């Protein structure tokens, strides 16, 4: 595996961790920083309603019996006394195993890929990427109304739930640095765990592109009109 692929995998897993709520939540830090004593039971009771106590995330610990042979080997590696994983099964590696037991048909298509690229480009004011991807998005059947809602950070009230789930995910992660329970529920209504993992990887891939474009200050050709306003 190349270094770039490893980095993309790490970025994707970090994004999936946001999505699945495995990061320690603000409630804990608020209690920690004010020096208030807290038992484990009190801590678990303070977590949001959509969090599983055993995993401290939005997904339960995966059932080993549901995994294929390779999945069982990975599971055992995370639970072994010799494991080098810092988080074990509740962390990104354990979350990744859920994709192995999800047999639902995939809904990942060119439209989803374009929605990810465009919604993230909007949040990061990445004019180069947006300008190149807008025609791709239109070809992938993102409607002009939805395109404008993304472009102008508009309301998603009239946007179809399938599209809105991806757009709101990008807004949550890149603006709020967390994924709200409402956004997660909307995503669950549209995608299975296998697809949610793929979405996380696609977002990691997009982020690598944006960092490269920002780092090396890549500009549009002289005759290419920017299609994204950045003074919102």
Clarify whether residues 83 and 116 are in a common domain. Answer: no
pLDDT at 5 over 60: no
Clarify whether residues 87 and 11 are in a common domain. Answer: yes
Domain count along the chain: 2
Q: What is the pLDDT of residue 231?
A: 74
Contact call for residues 149 and 137 (beta carbons, < 8 A): no
pLDDT in tens, 169-204: 999 999 999 999 999 999 999 999 999 999 999 999
State the Cα angle at 128 between 17 and 8, rounded to 5°: 30
- CA-nearest of 166, 117, 155 to 139 is 117
Please check whether residue 126 lies inside any domain of the structure: yes
Clarify whether residues 84 and 171 are in a common domain. Answer: no
Clarify whether residues 179 and 156 are in a common domain. Answer: yes
Cα torsion for 132, 200, 7, 84, to the nearest 10°? 180
Please check whether residue 12 lies inside any domain of the structure: yes
d(CA 206, CA 8): 9
> What mean pLDDT is predicted for residues 140-164?
98
Please check whether residue 226 lies inside any domain of the structure: no
Clarify whether residues 73 and 119 are in a common domain. Answer: no
pTM for this predicted structure: 0.84
H helices within 40-151, ranges in order? 40-46, 69-79, 92-101, 110-123, 127-139, 144-151
Clarify whether residues 58 and 141 are in a common domain. Answer: no
By mean pLDDT, which of 83-87, 134-138, 163-167 is the weakest? 83-87
Q: What is the pLDDT of residue 23?
A: 46
Mean pLDDT of the chain: 89
Percent of the chain scoring above 90 in pLDDT = 82
Q: What is the pLDDT of residue 38?
A: 84
pLDDT in tens, 69-85: 999 999 999 999 999 99
Task: Supply the range of the domain harboring residue 90.
Answer: 3-101
**3-class secondary-structure state, position 24:** coil
Greater confidence (51 vs 7) lies with 51
Query: Residue 7 half-sphere exposure, CB side, CA atoms within 13 Å?
Result: 10
Domain containing residue 207: CATH number: 1.20.1290.10
């Amino acid at each position: 595996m190349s270094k770039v692929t490893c980095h993309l995998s790490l970025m994707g897993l970090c994004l999936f961790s946001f999505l699945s709520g495995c990061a320690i939540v603000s409630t804990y830090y608020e209690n920690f920083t004010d020096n208030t004593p807290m038992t484990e039971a009190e801590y678990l009771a303070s977590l949001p309603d959509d969090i599983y106590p055993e995993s401290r995330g939005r997904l339960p610990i995966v059932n080993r019996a549901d995994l294929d042979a390779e999945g069982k080997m990975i599971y055992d590696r995370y639970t072994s006394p010799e494991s080098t994983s810092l988080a074990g099964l509740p962390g990104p590696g354990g979350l990744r195993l859920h994709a192995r037991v999800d047999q639902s048909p995939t809904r990942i298509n060119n439209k989803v890929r374009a929605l990810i690229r465009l919604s993230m480009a909007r949040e990061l004011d990445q004019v180069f990427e947006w300008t190149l991807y807008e025609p791709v998005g239109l070809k992938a059947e993102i409607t002009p109304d939805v395109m404008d809602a993304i472009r102008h950070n508009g309301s998603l009230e009239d946007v179809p739930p399938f599209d809105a789930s991806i757009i709101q995910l990008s807004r949550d992660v890149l603006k709020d640095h967390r994924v709200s329970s409402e956004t997660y529920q909307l995503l669950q209504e549209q995608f299975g765990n296998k697809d949610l993992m793929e979405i996380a990887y696609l977002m990691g891939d997009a982020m690598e592109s944006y960092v490269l474009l920002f780092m090396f200050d890549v500009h549009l050709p002289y005759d290419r009109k920017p299609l994204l306003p950045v003074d919102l």
